[in-house]
Structure 1
Amino acid sequence: MKRLIEKWKKLNKFARISICIVLGITAYRCADFFPHTYMWLTHHPQMYNAELEPEFPSWFNVNFGSLEGPDTNKNGIRDDVEIYMNREFEDLGEGEIAILHQYARMIQNRLKYPVGHEYSKKHWEERKHLYACIFILADIKATASSRANYKFMNKDREFVFRKVINSLSRDLREARFMRQFSGHSTMSDSSFWNFVHLEEQCHFSKNYSDTLRKDFFIKKKKAFGKYGKRFYDSYERKYGKSKRYLYEDYID
């Protein structure tokens, strides 16, 4: 140990800084090596949502392959991230899980597509709809002491983000992709439209969507009063009548 200290003292300032940088980068890149490898050695695929989850990929496969990483079941979520999510969120409700899976796919796509790709416009629309879905659930689950806001599920989303963006190269790629949206707004233009399209935009099941819609339409009917038909006429002029069957029973 003393010899190492003596050798360290003999190094010039540049050499010391270089060694520290190399060690720092190595430590950052390998921080999750042991927990990841433990998961790889002990994992046995289980059934989730009537589907068998993939094999847990090795740390080297995740970190030394492409930025997107392995996705053997082609569901848009990296295999290790999917398995971590299955374990972490097994007690969450259907709506929350659907949103988190959608969020994971969205983050994954930031690594898949380069800046300026034609997907970029679609990505921002997906992001707007995602936040609309989050706000819908936040509003439903809000209490007198917990106001609905965009921080709903913030810790869960942070967990997913850190599992997907688990290296410096992924962090830089994701940041570069998102810089192209500087100044954009995530606000959606119609909360009513979002409720009409819950299955497509939030990826909720039909039964769950119908339950949410029923409560929402009942509240809207009371709020609109005698002006309800005027609202629906205005809405249909902008968005059409293809989804009228969902809310026609609530039009006075």
Structure 2
Amino acid sequence: MMKSYEYYDRIAYMYDEMYNNKKWLTLRKAVEHYMDKTINMKNAKVLDVGSGTGYWLEYFLNKDFSVYALEPSAKMIEFAKEKFKDKVKYFNTTIENFDTYDKFDVLNIQGDVLSYVEDLDLVMKKLSNIINKDGLLFATVDSYYYMRKLVKKYGSRREMEIFEKYHITTVGSQYGVFNSRCFTLEDIKDLEKYGFQVLEIRGCGYSNNLEEEIEKSYNIVLGEHIYFSLRYLK
């Protein structure tokens, strides 16, 4: 089984084109809308975890924040460097192996990164060590409720048993597959044990229309992905 960043190395050259469609553009604009309502700080220091080719780097640069990009795929981060040059500080590593004395006001973890990490407990402890008090964490993850329907329809009995027990399945395309941890609402609320407070949870991936996407986002169990925001309290 390949690592998620090995998969993204394979598709880096076409990643932007793959996600440049109405569905994904609408989903991202909806998430921007949710984040805009939550962010109430200026001159913030942001770590974009799993920054990819840089969609969210641009979002935070437009807010005049100090932006740091963390991306384990060497090919993906090269595309980001071409776009943003020295406007961003780059780290080509995983969050598990990221060593820093810096602390951040915002941790942005889009693109289901928390679904793809191998050791969620280790990662959440790392994140809680590098975020400032009252700092914000934004994330999207794969939805247990949506994926369960797919595993039930297309998977074997054994795959369904594994999914029900561990909430893990495989995702990808013809370019490769890797494991994804799918989150329930309870899984997200359980992240509060790391010192966070859940601020908002929404479903994602309902519609190509932005207004409809936002309106349906409260019906979380029907979304393909789940967006959530947390505040660090310690």
| TM-based fold match above 0.5 | no
Which structure would you say has the larger RCO, counting Cα contacts within 8 Å and 6 or more residues apart? 2
TM-score normalised by L of structure 2: 0.26
TM-score normalised by L of structure 1: 0.25
Looking at CA atoms only, which structure, 1 or 2, has the larger radius of gyration?
Answer: 1
The structure with the largest strand share of the pair is 2
The structure with the largest helix share of the pair is 1
